[in-house]
Amino acid sequence: MKILVTGASGFLGGHLVDGALRQGHQVRALVRPGRAAVRLGSLPGVEVVTGDLTDGESLQRAAQGCEAVLHSAARVVDHGSRAQFEAANVSGTQRLLAAARSAGARRFVFVSSPSALMRVREGDRLGIDESTPYPRRWFNHYCETKAIAEQHVRAADGPEFTTCALRPRGIWGPRDHAGFLPRMVDAMRAGRLPDLSGGKPVLVSLCHVDNAVDACLRAAHAPAGRVGGKAYFVADREETDLWPFLARVGALFDCPPPAPRIPLRLGRALAAAVETGWHLRHRSAAGGTDASPPLSRYMMALLTRSATYDTSAAREDFGYAAPRTQADGLRALGEWVTEVGGVAAWTAGPAAPTDAAVPARSGPGPTEQGNTQS
């Protein structure tokens, strides 16, 4: 097929391009104006086009001649106005759906997030499956707009235009410079990451980028009658105790473990205070800022709530089986970090010009994109 990949200069998007090429597809890579696309442009079988989710004409041009769309671009920071999130995540997705349908595409795979189901007040939840309803009140603008966009995608499914949504959790792996894992490692390296677990296990589902790519490409090929109009959780095979995992990753790079341990109630109060102070300082900044607060209520929830996801629906409907194990993924991550010059080079961000990260997908905690982000 000829596949359009949005967010192609980002972490997940770049890996989607690579995965599609490995399967023999032609790829049209959509990047925003001004984004570096040197790596993408050097790949045989890739056509790089510029466009923006706010520009319907550019999306029409990008979709022409493509049989499938893998939509990974989104705004995945945990701050910003409702209008900013709606423009990128809701209106942008609607424009892309219209462009893809008009161009004759037959498959549309939307990279959503488990955060689309995240509630403001909620305790630990294990084995969450697709029967879980959308909340009436979401945690923040990101959660709400991903949920609304996901519902638009599912509603657009039809006989000649098959749509589905995937919800990978905590995407991690090589070429992620701005997601939750490099941010946590950077904080450990500097000795400024406290243990926020409160002394309890925080069981989570994470998703190696190779597993997310495998799921997206399987969904792009699956029979329409099995996946059309549905949403699926996607995760690694392993159920992870988050804070020991972070200490284990840090140890790979000689970082001290998270410390000291902060009681949960104190950690939540600290997150609220830091987030409020950050917003007060940045509210008057001309044009806003792409930086995220160092700690927020959303990040605190992601780092202290247990949340694991049942992926059996993805296995049954399109054969998803998480081909990359966590142990293998950590070995590959360590090798890649060595190749790029060590942990300091990894956590400092990509050296221009590369395609390792997109600001709009640089989420603050273990969300779906380190891509992100989306």
How would residue 290 be classed by pLDDT, with cut points 50, 70 and 90? low
Instruction: For residue range 80-103, list pLDDT tens digits in order.
Output: 889 999 999 999 999 999 999 999
pLDDT at res. 355: 35
How would residue 107 be classed by pLDDT, with cut points 50, 70 and 90? very high
More confident: 371 or 228: 228
110 in Cβ contact with 93 (< 8 Å): yes
The answer to whether residue 297 scores a pLDDT higher than 50 is yes
pLDDT at res. 33: 85
pLDDT at res. 217: 98
- Percent above pLDDT 70 for the chain: 90
Rounded mean pLDDT of 131-147?
95
The answer to whether residue 371 scores a pLDDT higher than 80 is no
Rounded mean pLDDT of 321-326?
97
pLDDT at res. 350: 64
Distance CA 206, CA 307 (A): 10
How would residue 293 be classed by pLDDT, with cut points 50, 70 and 90? confident
Active site residue ranges: 142
pLDDT at res. 366: 39
Rounded mean pLDDT of 67-84?
91
Q: Between helices 56-63 and 92-103, what is the axis angle to 10°?
A: 40
How would residue 284 be classed by pLDDT, with cut points 50, 70 and 90? low
The answer to whether residue 288 scores a pLDDT higher than 80 is no
Distance CA 338, CA 242 (A): 24
The answer to whether residue 318 scores a pLDDT higher than 80 is yes
| Strands laid side by side in the 46-50 sheet | 46-50, 26-31, 2-6, 68-71, 107-111, 162-168, 230-234
The answer to whether residue 354 scores a pLDDT higher than 70 is no
360 in Cβ contact with 77 (< 8 Å): yes
Instruction: For residue range 110-121, list pLDDT tens digits in order.
Output: 999 999 999 988
Q: Between helices 264-282 and 297-304, what is the axis angle to 10°?
A: 150
Distance CA 54, CA 69 (A): 17
- Percent above pLDDT 90 for the chain: 81
222 in Cβ contact with 318 (< 8 Å): yes
Instruction: Report the predicted TM-score, pTM, of the whole model to 2 decimal places.
Output: 0.92
How would residue 65 be classed by pLDDT, with cut points 50, 70 and 90? very high
